[in-house]
Amino acid sequence: MLATLVDKPFHQPGWIYEEKYDGYRILAYKEGDKVTLLSRNNNDRTHSYPQIATAVGKVPARTLLLDGEAVAFDRHRVSRFQLLQQGSPASYAVFDLLYENGEDLRKQPLSDRRERLQSAVTRNARIFISHRLAENGLEAYRSAKEKGYEVAESEGQAGRRIHHRRLHGPCRST
């Protein structure tokens, strides 16, 4: 799901706050040896990011559906959309596991999906699990801003409810 804009940074118990990446939203689908990368408009992007497809192909699960973002980082490890457009090497920041080995996980709480994601995906140069910020939303916002995430003043965090099913998307402040 796409982020919903909110008026200002917030803290809400039961939410997690993650780094917001500046890249292309990608669903990665693996079935056996075949990997397909799809944009949010359902366009096949597998050939655009072969290094990501290769990394997803190495995940041990027979079948899976990952939700994440294709990103390219500058020398300060801040994602920059323009670097992707210039053809810089892309990595895949994964923030959700929606399907694994025949099991639809979308109705499970995010906390459970995140736990399964951490078991399924091993970090390497081309795939990693999205970085969590502080547990307090306002502290997460301050931390993101200090680290230089995003150019817009308040787009450094994305928040999602940890115990909710995948019915609502993340939020970001405007």
Q: Do 90 and 143 reside in the same domain of the chain?
A: no
Q: Do 46 and 123 reside in the same domain of the chain?
A: yes
Q: Do 71 and 86 reside in the same domain of the chain?
A: yes
Per-residue pLDDT at 54 exceeds 70 = yes
With H, G, I as helix, E, B as strand and everything else as coil, classify residue 12. coil
Q: Do 68 and 80 reside in the same domain of the chain?
A: yes
Q: From CA 25, how far away is CA 164, in angstroms rounded?
A: 21
CATH number at residue 11: 3.30.1490.70
Catalytic, 20? Answer yes
| pLDDT reported for residue 153 | 35
Instruction: Indicate the pairing of strand 34-39 with strand 103-104.
Output: unpaired
| pLDDT reported for residue 171 | 44
Q: Which of 20, 107, 145, 147 is catalytic?
A: 20
Helices (H), 11-136: 50-57, 81-85, 110-120
Q: Do 76 and 30 reside in the same domain of the chain?
A: yes
Q: To 5 degrees, how large is the angle CA 52–CA 108–CA 127? A: 15
Q: Do 84 and 115 reside in the same domain of the chain?
A: yes
With H, G, I as helix, E, B as strand and everything else as coil, classify residue 162. coil
Query: For residue 78, what pLDDT band results from cuts at 50, 70 and 90?
Result: confident
Q: Which domain holds residue 1?
A: 1-21+132-174
Q: Do 99 and 144 reside in the same domain of the chain?
A: no
Q: Do 114 and 164 reside in the same domain of the chain?
A: no
Report pTM.
Answer: 0.79
Domain count, the chain: 2
CATH number at residue 77: 3.30.470.30
